[in-house]
Structure 1
């Protein structure tokens, strides 16, 4: 659902295929800034209809704070391969196993962040095995299923994908939906960004969209289960969100005993709407985790 300003990796970052025990995944990997003390590695998971590029604006400010950031396309998202029609390849359990493999390939415990749908996948990975992770940040990702209005949007997308091609669905979304809801281009977007957004949509596997939509619409509340995991938690959101209402996110943070951050002036995607403020909040949390461990 995020709309990055550019699909070009920032200076110093590298786009490549990360090899794992469960196959290759497309990543953008940004090292710690030169002359800055390295504090840790962060694994970033995008949301529904999103991609690794949703975090492009976070890499440079986080590198300056001492964090190597690795943003990944999940199985079937944009430039990571996956089956076109087999939804069983995209169950939450399969995606969680992918995340554990990605963390293992990075070679050290990582700070894990999931945006929206990526937060549900991140939660599932932590519940399966917490040991590869130093902390968990849930960004604009709620305790259970999405709101009624968003479930209706997902149902419409599923119905449409059953009868139209991906290209036809893209054209229909651009005509019918607001850009901030679909991730489709806004009228003022640069032509290159519009083409990249379309390329991302066309690269995403239909089965991944169908499976992810089903999970978003049916996810149970697992907050109590997650709260029992001995990890530091951070709940981040914008000041408004129609996917999971902000009071619901506030309550989730209390139930988790988590740090709570609201990025003023943003909605569902603070990572793209106000990346500098978001990066500062994220790094502050990870710094505190590091200080507590020392």
Structure 2
């Protein structure tokens, strides 16, 4: 049976601060410190907590799972300039973190985090044992999610981060199928959004809506790869991700009962797919 979790379900995961040249990175980690590292990158406006519901399962498989807030997100300070949030700049920080975790890091990028993970691999695949692209795509985000980013971007200087959150919530509430989060989760979602920097919100928004197609370059990197996504993903459409998997020569797994956040919407199936993929690498 599909189990719906939430970003509040962190299991035994513990906080961790990772030093980088540009400042500390906030993380959650679980599992044996000497286990094979799995580095998990969240999407735009996301955070490390988006992987909370799968951390115990990864730890139980003997992995050292490390989920981070990217620079500027939630509890990680970040650059004050928009230019610091390109996929290339963020990918450099990911490489710095991966180098500290040990040899053969399994890298997972969710949504915009997948574009960052790709940039990290394209800068040199030597640090990584595999790459998982979770609900991410071959190029820039399009459709209604991209339209919402473009709608909000010019309002950021006037409204600030808190105002953008309020406007986004009002827009979401006006949709006919909207289901509000429970109060405790809603409070967390607001807290993490407004904790993010304005430069991050603008910079990542620009990056996710302008990323070029780099699938051919990534295929040439030679890493084992997995493309996985919720069957109802409404960001990058499932067919687009299936086509990307074919172009990459990657395994493709569709997560039942999930849309754009399978680690929360179906954590058991998501963790199982990840563990099976990694075990197949030996």
Using structure 1 for the length normalisation, give the TM-score: 0.89
Say if 1:19 and 1:105, in contact at 8 Å, map to a contact too: no
How far did residue 61 of structure 1 move?
A: 1.1
Deviations 1:99-121 (A, max 9, x none): 00010111222100000000000
How far did residue 210 of structure 1 move?
A: 0.9
Q: Please give the secondary structure, in 1, of the residue aligned with 2:120.
A: helix
Q: Does 1:285 align with 2:281?
A: no
What is the alpha-carbon root mean square deviation over aligned residues? 2.1
What is residue 160 of structure 2 aligned with on the other side?
165
Say if 2:160 and 2:198, in contact at 8 Å, map to a contact too: no
Q: Please give the secondary structure, in 2, of the residue aligned with 1:60.
A: helix
What is residue 5 of structure 1 aligned with on the other side?
6
How far did residue 162 of structure 1 move?
A: 2.8
Deviations 1:32-52 (A, max 9, x none): 49xxxx761100000011000
| Aligned partner (choices 242, 247, 252) of residue 250 of structure 1 | 242
How far did residue 186 of structure 1 move?
A: 4.9
Structure 1, gaps ≥5 residues long: none
Q: Does 1:52 align with 2:45?
A: no
Which ranges of 4 or more aligned residues in structure 1 deviate by more than 6 Å?
none
Query: Equivalents in 1 of 2:30, 2:174: separation in Å?
Result: 28
Q: Please give the secondary structure, in 2, of the residue aligned with 1:141.
A: coil
Note the 1:45-84 alignment, pairs <5 A: 45-84=41-80
Q: Please give the secondary structure, in 1, of the residue aligned with 2:24.
A: strand
CA change 1:179–1:235 in 2 (3 A) is: farther
What is residue 16 of structure 2 aligned with on the other side?
16
Query: Equivalents in 1 of 2:224, 2:167: separation in Å?
Result: 42
Aligned length: 277
Deviations 1:121-152 (A, max 9, x none): 00000000111100000000000111232221
Structure 2, gaps ≥5 residues long: none
Query: Equivalents in 2 of 1:272, 1:113: separation in Å?
Result: 15
